[in-house]
Amino acid sequence: MGNLKEIRNRIASVSSTQKITAAMKLVSAAKLRRAQSAIIALRPYTQKLSEILSNLAGSVEQDSDQALFAQRQVEKVALVVFTSNRGLCGSFNSSLVKETEQRIRENYREQARAGNITLYCIGKKGYEQLSKHYPVAYHNELLLDAPNFHDIATLTEQLIHDFTARNIDRVEVVYNQFVNAATQRTTVSPFLPVASIPASQHSNPPAKTNYIFEPSRETLLLELIPKILKLQLFKALTDSIASEHGARMTSMAKATDNATEMLNDLRLKYNNARQSAITNELIEIISGATALDH
């Protein structure tokens, strides 16, 4: 009977876990619908602005004196890393941390040795892992629970200021790009200098075009480019949020299915053990009755 009690306890434990994972799956599915609608609505706008930025970059990179287009020797690097605040979302966070560390090892080994790698962490999980090895200049967890454009704009302005002040020579963004509920693509996107952005976002970059600017090109650059950069960083945040909910929903669905299979196996074992115990009791009763007859 001790075996039966142990199996009953395991059934109760797995059943409780199954209810939790099923509830988390439903919550993530509801959040995913909202996040997916947001990123799908945002993508056409950001894509068109990226094309505008691409054309501007193509028209000014030869003779530009704009600081945001400056291509200089990379000595100091900043990486903006988007992770989540909570776990139970499969490899969502671990893939981002691995990609960040691999990027540093392969592309910025010398800068890392000199202590010139700076991280900007959005999300608790990435901060906990990466802050052990690299300095973190910025950390924000609230953006994931209450995403807003103002905080992203403030962060972008800080990055622009540090880049133009030559405190940073290159800025890259590491995040999970949302493909669908079951697929998230880990992406490293160049952010600053501006001239490096179109190559990563367009498979067929538009040809350089001579435009007549109204107002002047300099005025247009000063006004438009910071806004486009803010929107691009906000898109990375929106992509990351949708990817997190998709990864968690998929992970909890698999966990619920595994719990169902485990419950079926445990119930089968319980029934077999219970049948065996009943059979043994019947044998004892029959044996006792036979002994009394003799």
User: Choosing from 32, 39, 89, 168, which is the catalytic residue?
Assistant: 89
Strand ordering across the sheet containing 183-192: 136-140, 117-122, 77-82, 170-180, 183-192
Residue 172 to residues 87, 108, 218, Cα–Cα distance (Å): 24, 12, 25
Distance CA 118, CA 234 (A): 20
Distance CA 163, CA 137 (A): 14
127's CB contacts (< 8 A; 6+ apart) are: 83, 121, 136, 139, 141
Do 74 and 59 contact (CB within 8 A), yes or no?
no
Beta bridge partners of 192: 171
Examine the residue annotation and report whether 89 is marked as an active-site residue of this protein: yes
Q: Residues, the chain, total?
A: 294
Alpha helices by DSSP H, 148-293: 149-164, 197-201, 217-293
Distance CA 291, CA 294 (A): 5
Please report the DSSP string for 120-147 in residue order. EEESHHHHHHHTTTS-EEEEESHHHHS-
CA-CA-CA-CA torsion sign (125, 98, 37, 20): negative
Q: Which positions are catalytic?
A: 89
